[in-house]
Amino acid sequence: MRLKDQLRVHSVAALLGPRQCGKTTLANQLAEDYPAAVHHFDLENPSDLLALTEPMRVLERLSGLVIIDEVQRLPALFPILRVLVDRKQAHYLILGSASRDLIQQSSETLAGRIGYIELTPFQLREGCNGSELLVRGGFPRSYLADSEHDSYLWREAYIQTFLERDIPNLGFQVPPLMLRRFWMMLAHVHGQLLNMNTLATSLGVSGHSIRHYLDILAGTFMVRIMPPWYSNIHKRQVKTPKLYFRDNGLLLTLLGLRSEEAMLRHPNLGAIWEGFALEQVIQTLELRPEESFFWRTSHGAELDLLTFQNGKAIGYEFKFADAPKTTKSMHQALIDLDLAHLYIIYPGKREIPMTDHITAIGLEDWVISINKN
């Protein structure tokens, strides 16, 4: 387990991920097998939050493993943890619903003492059903709901709670209605280049506000900002990032799509599939944000995902098609980016060698092949 590895190397392990993705469940599983005493504080529990109003006095007496859930609610803990960590009396597992960039105190005060793990909602690599994951998303209570209707109701409530409670608890003073309008606007530009000016004009706010809202949604694991790759070729290349929703279920909810049939009739079905498959590939390969890019030139050549594995450039194109075909753009990407291989990921079941360096393969089969290796 990666948590055990981090706690063996570091005095503090941070398990970060969106709310309701299973962080507490995983922490409890670790606690069951931990060879020493375990102390658990949930900062959403008023009594636990009250107990840590004087954290030094409470924590300095504890040994073994100390688990602190929803740590972003009490950022003043981080300087105290630094003092306690250096005493080497206990290990600390902190759980948070915001990224390391939003919980900046941890990186500033615990440098060299903390290891980070991001926990995502359910993914294909965990053996989930692809069709259900595509429609319901990977949050456990949504994916495991008794019906599509119940799943949709859970996601609606999740979005409401996220806007009205979770964002204010992170210290952001953004009107929930404004952020919801922005979030819904982003659902309609999913998989597209980010045009800050257009978003600002449509929402009636400044470009600075748009960047602030994006930072919030990216920092809480709701959206992914995909950076472009610049290569040293004599072509004008797009330098604007793209935006994707990280959980397909939340995307469909914001688009008002309640079923697979409704999704299949949506005009942006290709982008919906692209974002879903992209996230599955990134998570299966365990890519960090700085290891995944897209590429596009002003002349129209593009590549949905560019990665570097074992020193080799590997490309991925995502196509919602029964029989995907190679394109001029793919061949241009092979040459310009010196790709070792390009995979066309599609929803089918067959692996089809298209050329010596291009292979079409079903998403689920690709995930299985990576897991075997």
- pLDDT digit string, tens, across residues 288-324: 988 999 999 888 889 999 999 889 999 999 999 999 9
Residue of 35, 33, 51 whose CA lies nearest to 43: 51
pLDDT tens, position by position, 154-205: 999 999 999 999 998 887 888 999 999 999 999 999 999 999 999 999 999 9
Instruction: Give dist(CA 264, CA 258) in Å, integer.
Output: 11
Say what the pLDDT of residue 300 is: 81
Residues in the chain: 373
Residue 104 has pLDDT above 80, yes or no: no
Q: Is residue 15 within 8 Å of residue 94, measured between CB atoms? A: yes
Which residue is it, tokens 């630094």? 82
Same domain for 254 and 186, yes or no, is yes
CATH number at residue 113: 3.40.50.300
Q: How far is CA 336 from CA 232, 304, 310, 332, in A?
A: 9, 15, 19, 6
Give tens-digit pLDDT for 20-48.
Answer: 999 999 999 999 989 999 999 999 999 99
What is the token pair recorded at 256? 């008002």
Of 84, 118, 152, the domain-final residue: 118
Q: Does residue 159 sit in the same domain as residue 250?
A: yes
- Domain check: are 102 and 160 in the same one? no
**CA 127 to each of CA 53, 133, 371: distance values in angstroms, whole numbers, following the listed order:** 42, 10, 10
Number of domains within the chain = 2
Q: Are 93 and 10 contained in the same domain?
A: yes
**Separation CA 127–CA 138 (nearest Å):** 12
Are 160 and 183 in contact, with CB atoms under 8 Å apart? no
Quote the pLDDT of residue 87.
Answer: 87
Cβ atoms 227, 237 nearer than 8 A: no
CA distance 369 to 373: 7
Boundary (domain end) residue, out of 118, 134, 165: 118
What is the DSSP code string of 170-183?
A: TT----HHHHHHHH
Shared-domain flag, residues 155 and 110: no
Residue type, 234: H
C-beta pairs of 208-213 under 8 Å, 24+ apart in sequence: 210/182, 212/174, 213/174, 213/179, 213/182
Q: Are residues 79 and 133 in the same domain?
A: no
Pair 240, 283 in one domain: yes
- 49 and 145 co-located in one domain: no
Q: Please check whether residues 107 and 129 belong to one and the same domain.
A: no
Confidence tier at 106 by pLDDT (50, 70, 90): low
226-261: b or e for each residue (b if 16 or more CB lie within 10 Å)? bebbeeeeeeebbeebbbbbbbbbbbbbbbebbeee
**Same domain for 269 and 141:** yes
- Give the pLDDT mean for 118-130: 96
| Domain residue limits at 336 | 124-372
- State the pLDDT confidence band at 113, using cuts at 50, 70 and 90: confident
Of 93, 118, 143, the position where a domain reaches its end is 118
Task: Indicate the pTM of the whole model.
Answer: 0.94
Residues 208 and 327 in one domain: yes
Average pLDDT, the chain: 93
Q: What is the CATH number of the domain that holds 278?
A: 1.10.10.10
- Do residue 8 and residue 155 come from a single domain? no
Measure the CA–CA gap between 118 and 2, rounded to whole angstroms: 10
- Residue 12: other Cβ atoms inside 10 A: 24
Q: Residue 187 and residue 254: Cα distance in Å, rounded?
A: 6
Tell me: the pLDDT tens digits for 212-269?
999 999 999 999 999 999 876 656 777 899 999 999 999 999 999 999 999 999 999 9
